[in-house]
Amino acid sequence: MISQIKKNYVSDQIYQQMMEMIINGTWKEGQMIPSENVLSEEFGVSRDSIRQSIHKLSALGLLKSRQGKGTYVQKMDISFYMNLLVPSLLLNESDSITVLSFTKSIQVESTRLVCRNATQEEISKLHIYLNQMEAETDYEAYFNEDMGYHKYLSVLTGNVLFIKAMEITEVLLHEYLRDIVAVHGSKRSIEQHMKCYQALLARDEDCAIRVMSEHYDMLIDRVMHFLQKTETT
């Protein structure tokens, strides 16, 4: 039974209620959940609040949106429990910096492992994403290729938690990171990705790690300024 939502911490309350409905079987595996408009009316909140909650549950692997078909309940497999290792990253928008800092540590370690263990052929495939990043003029498409680069780096480690961390980042920070590209452009980011790629090919672990760390420091700085600007407008 859906309860009307109090105004404080709206998206958190919706998120918790919707998760409970999935866990207790009110919304069953494979079932399409009500539309954003319907949920907005039933919860008594805005569509934006509903959308934020759906994004968070999607990051947990509990929901999956199918373009033009709706949003469906997913099977609660091991991915769900692995995602719960980082619950604080999923509850508040203000935790964007925490998400990025967490992701930075994952990507730095991924860079280290790839430099030590991946084959030259595996590393060379990163250039596919670089080529697409350089060619893209659409910010959304650029973001997808950028995330593809980082997710592939995690895939090369073979560590499931690293892979899930990147999936969580993609869902939670999609709009922030895309808008940052729109404001600052992609030139510096592409240069950093290229330097990291070249260092990996050369097996220069220190250089690759330094560049990856600098890249995330830049992102964190830009997101902080973005959030500060948003708060004052």
Mean of the per-residue pLDDT values for the chain? 85
Average pLDDT over residues 27-47: 93
Q: How far apart are CA 137 and CA 111, in angstroms?
A: 27
DSSP string, the chain: ---PPPSTTHHHHHHHHHHHHHHTTSSPTTPBPPPHHHHHHHHTS-HHHHHHHHHHHHHTTSEEEETTTEEEEPP--HHHHHHTTSGGGGT-GGGHHHHHHHHHHHHHHHHHHHHHHS-HHHHHTHHHHHHHHHH--SHHHHHHHHHHHHHHHHHHHT-HHHHHHHHHHHHHSHHHHHHHHHHH-SHHHHHHHHHHHHHHHTT-HHHHHHHHHHHHHHHHHHHHHHHHHHHH-
Q: Is the CATH code 1.10.3720.10 the one for domain 10-80?
A: no
> Model confidence at 44, in pLDDT bands (50, 70, 90)?
very high
Q: What is the share, in percent, of the chain residues with pLDDT greater than 70?
A: 86
Q: Which residue has the higher pLDDT, 230 or 85?
A: 230
Name the residue type at position 166: M
**3-state SS assignment for residue 118:** coil
10-80 and 88-232, same CATH topology = no
Does the pLDDT of residue 9 top 90, yes or no? no
Query: Which tens digit of pLDDT belongs to each residue from 119-134?
Result: 999 999 999 999 999 9
Domain boundaries defined on the chain: 10-80, 88-232
pLDDT at 78: 59
Q: Which residue has the higher pLDDT, 47 or 206?
A: 206
Does the pLDDT of residue 24 top 90, yes or no? no
Q: Which residue has the higher pLDDT, 230 or 188?
A: 188
> Model confidence at 225, in pLDDT bands (50, 70, 90)?
confident
Does the pLDDT of residue 89 top 60, yes or no? no
Q: What is the pTM of this model?
A: 0.64
pLDDT at 55: 87
> Model confidence at 191, in pLDDT bands (50, 70, 90)?
very high
**CATH code for the domain defined by 88-232:** 1.20.120.530
Q: Which residue has the higher pLDDT, 184 or 116?
A: 116
Q: How far apart are CA 50 and CA 31, in angstroms?
A: 18
Does the pLDDT of residue 6 top 60, yes or no? no
Does the pLDDT of residue 5 top 60, yes or no? no
Q: What are the φ and ψ backbone dihedral angles of 112, each rounded to 5 degrees? A: -60, -50
pLDDT at 52: 87
Does the pLDDT of residue 79 top 80, yes or no? no
Q: What are the φ and ψ backbone dihedral angles of 28, each rounded to 5 degrees? A: -95, 160
Q: Tokens 């938690």 label which residue?
A: 161
> Which of 1-15, 110-124, 135-149 has the weakest average pLDDT?
1-15
